[in-house]
Amino acid sequence: MLAVDDRVVMVSGANRGIGRAMAVGLLAKGYRLSLGTRHPEALDDIAGERALGVPYDALDPAAGGAWVDATLAHFGRIDALINNAGVLRHASVEDGRDEDFDHLWQVNAMGPLRVTRAALPHLKRSGRGRIVNVVSLAGKRVRGDNAGYSMSKFAALALTHGTRRAGWHDGVRVTALCPAWVATDMASHAEVPPQEMIQPEDLCELVATVLALPNNASIAELLVNCRFEDTL
């Protein structure tokens, strides 16, 4: 496994939930972090010399490039990107509103695509660049009637595999992290009790392993469930 060596990791949606757990955990492991969020002030307790808070809104087409530029200006390099920012809205096939389908698409699919495009040349330059897209098991199967969310996450999974092809020969390795219910506020409506859900800190441990693996031990998809599922 590769040493941390002060590598710079970008994490989107870092002010709460999975993203914040990633930020706290990776900072403790020695990484330098560029934390993209709509609310940088929420990071005041962890921001500092090794952790930079940057305004980032996945709905803004220019935000991804601006975040990459700010990261380079502060740290001078980019070694990994964690596309974590996402949104959950209900949009069924029969009565889902077009605006909800569009919102899910823009945040969950186009947001990661735009940041990836901006960061990829610098990840290639690293020679061991890493991208982790937080996709969800909703990107692997459809349960219930929220087709819109699954459609956006299936797209994020396709982005993962497309980026693997684009960056492979330059040492960029890309992983889709696909968890089931995670104990965050986004899962407040779930039928699973929070104590039985995946804990965000455990996802950080999995991501840290992915970041540390050498180029010849790449994980394409990492499916994480908290209860039995036939697909797993």
Q: Which residues are catalytic?
A: 149
For residue 120, which of 112, 129, 111 has the smallest C-alpha distance?
A: 129
Packed helices 111-126 and 147-167: angle between N→C axes, nearest 10 degrees: 20
For residue 74, which of 57, 52, 55, 46 has the smallest C-alpha distance?
A: 52
**Partners of residue 175 on adjacent β-strands:** 132
Measured torsion, CA atoms of residues 220, 120, 147, 224, in degrees rounded to the nearest 10: 30
Q: Which two tokens stand for residue 81?
A: 């990107």
- Report d(CA 148, CA 146) in Å as an integer: 6
Buried b (16+ CB within 10 A) or exposed e, 31-45: bbbbbbbbebebbee
Where in 29-94 does DSSP place strands (E)? 32-37, 51-55, 80-83
- For tokens 């890493």, the residue is 130
Diameter of the chain measured on Cα atoms: 51
Q: Which two tokens stand for residue 127?
A: 């020679």
